[in-house]
Amino acid sequence: MTSALPVPHDRLDFTALEAPVDPAAVRAYRQATKASGSQHAMTGAQTITTVFGVVIVVVVFFVFAIIGTVFVSLFLSSVGGAFSDVPVVLLLFPLFVLAALVLVVVAIVRRVRRGSDWQRWYRLDRFAAANGFDFAVTSPGPPYPGTVFGLGRNRTSYELLRSTSGRFVELGSYRYTTGSGDDERVSSWGYIAVALDRPVPHMLLDARANDRVFSSLPAAFARSQVLSLEGDFDRHFTLYAPGEYERDALYVFTPDLMALLIDEAAGWDVELVDRWLFLYAPDPIDSADVGAWRRALRAADLVGAKVLSRTQRYTDERAAGGAPELPGGPALPGAAEASVSPDASAAFLGQAAPPRPGEPTIAPGGKRLRGGIRWASVAGVVGVIVWWIFVTRLTGR
């Protein structure tokens, strides 16, 4: 089975990420990148923004600490005469302050252990050059059609590796902003993107391992599209596929692919859409952790290669001019050539490359999954209402 990466995962050279770094080399790298005017030089504003963000978080924490102390004091004083407001405040507020200090210390320790940004970027740049990738600190507005990439504003991929030859593959982290004012929130993800040879129906695997109370995915899909697969696969993933595409899903998700996903990608949500395979993790890839890169690159290679082998013969029989392609059937003309470079660069610059004359397409009913109710949002609204009722009764207003 052909590797999905420029270099197979078991032949990647991780020396640049593990060997000691010469400070002089880092300084030279920093000077060179700043002189070139590349995105690496945009770190001053990013650092100021990060520091400002930390200050805001600390201030907000102290404000909520004071508010929380007052509410707890009111509650305790209301349930028994043994409690008085002043002693409770004196007891609880120092605890909140101590908790804030612990969080700050933990953040500082983690920052020191990660090393400087320039040292980390230098390592990643050297690693990329040794293994057929380009490294980029940031890439604003990635135009991918995946579920995660179409939300919010200030959409930015960061600390990413992008293949320089052969199949288009990209691994990195991604963030976007939602809400405004006090409700503003920055969501961050780790992701893998692999260009496929052929368009496929929109299918999504929601991994149970990375869920909390509800799904970690930022979008919901109608439960009527859930398909049950054989064995214990349903214990690890929930599969969504468009209506009337059950046969197609079973054609792609064969038992060997399901076993591979359980072994290598249990913590990743997996999405097939247009001519793309995406894997999402609800936390960014730790760019200072060599093990994180090993696991992500291994998943990209093994899962990417297997999905490619299952989709390179796929044709949607519902699309105009399409003909069903059965397991074991002959590959359609052009499939072998497309496996080398399926207009991957063009696909990245414009989401998906337009289909060539005679190229397979997907029928409208299979292009996108139908949306559903996001129960996490419903639970949040209910929680706010319950809290409001509780506070109202507690204060007697």
Q: How far apart are CA 376 and CA 250, in angstroms?
A: 30
Backbone φ/ψ region at 363: left (φ over 0), alpha (ψ -120 to 50), beta: beta
What local confidence, expressed as pLDDT, does residue 393 receive? 64
26 pLDDT above the threshold of 90: yes
Retrieve residue 170's tokens: 């990209």
Backbone φ/ψ region at 351: left (φ over 0), alpha (ψ -120 to 50), beta: left
Q: How far apart are CA 309 and CA 253, in angstroms?
A: 11
**pLDDT average, residue stretch 13-18:** 97
68 pLDDT above the threshold of 90: no
Task: Give SS3 for 385.
Answer: helix
50 pLDDT above the threshold of 90: no
Q: How far apart are CA 298 and CA 307, in angstroms?
A: 14
Higher pLDDT, 357 or 268: 268
Retrieve residue 336's tokens: 């072998």
384 pLDDT above the threshold of 60: no
Contact assessment for residue 117 and residue 43, using Cβ atoms and an 8 Å cutoff: yes
Task: Give SS3 for 198.
Answer: strand
Q: Rg of the chain's alpha carbons, rounded to an integer?
A: 25
Q: How confident is the model at residue 43 (pLDDT cuts 50, 70, 90)?
A: very low
Q: Say how many residues make up the chain.
A: 397
The DSSP code for 319 is S
Q: Interior CA angle at 18 toward 12 and 21, to 5°?
A: 125
240 pLDDT above the threshold of 50: yes
* pLDDT tens digits, 121-177: 999 999 999 999 999 999 999 999 999 998 999 999 999 999 999 999 999 999 999
Sequence-ordered strand ranges (E) for the chain: 133-140, 153-163, 169-178, 185-207, 226-227, 237-240, 269-281
What local confidence, expressed as pLDDT, does residue 308 receive? 96
Contact assessment for residue 98 and residue 92, using Cβ atoms and an 8 Å cutoff: no
The DSSP code for 194 is E
* pLDDT tens digits, 187-233: 999 999 999 999 999 999 999 998 877 788 999 999 999 999 888 89
Q: How confident is the model at residue 344 (pLDDT cuts 50, 70, 90)?
A: very low
329 pLDDT above the threshold of 90: no
Q: How far apart are CA 238 and CA 170, in angstroms?
A: 25
**pLDDT average, residue stretch 60-84:** 61
DSSP symbols for 57-95: HHHHHHHHHHHHHHHHHHHHHHH-TT--HHHHHHHHHHH
352 pLDDT above the threshold of 80: no
Torsion angles phi and psi, residue 315, rounded to 5? -140, 135
Higher pLDDT, 62 or 316: 316
- Among 202, 210, 211, 146, smallest CA distance to 174 is for 146
Least confident of 44-48, 73-77, 129-133, 269-273: 44-48
The DSSP code for 157 is E
What local confidence, expressed as pLDDT, does residue 343 receive? 44
Q: Which residue has the tokens 């079973």?
A: 250
Higher pLDDT, 214 or 315: 315
387 pLDDT above the threshold of 80: no
Q: How confident is the model at residue 29 (pLDDT cuts 50, 70, 90)?
A: very high
- Hey, which residues does 193 pair with through a beta bridge? 170, 278
**pLDDT average, residue stretch 292-312:** 97
Retrieve residue 119's tokens: 């040292």
Residue 20: burial class (beta carbons within 10 Å; 0-12, 13-18, 19+): exposed
Q: Which residues contact 162 (CB under 8 A, 6 or more apart)?
A: 133, 134, 135, 136, 168, 169, 170
Q: Which residue has the tokens 């320790």?
A: 109
What local confidence, expressed as pLDDT, does residue 336 receive? 36
Retrieve residue 333's tokens: 């003309």
322 pLDDT above the threshold of 50: no
Retrieve residue 89's tokens: 């405040």
DSSP symbols for 113-143: HH--HHHHHHHHHHHHHHTTEEEEEEEES--
What local confidence, expressed as pLDDT, does residue 216 receive? 85
Q: Which amino acid is at 256?
A: D
* pLDDT tens digits, 268-295: 999 999 999 999 999 999 999 999 999 9
**What average pLDDT is seen over the chain?**
79
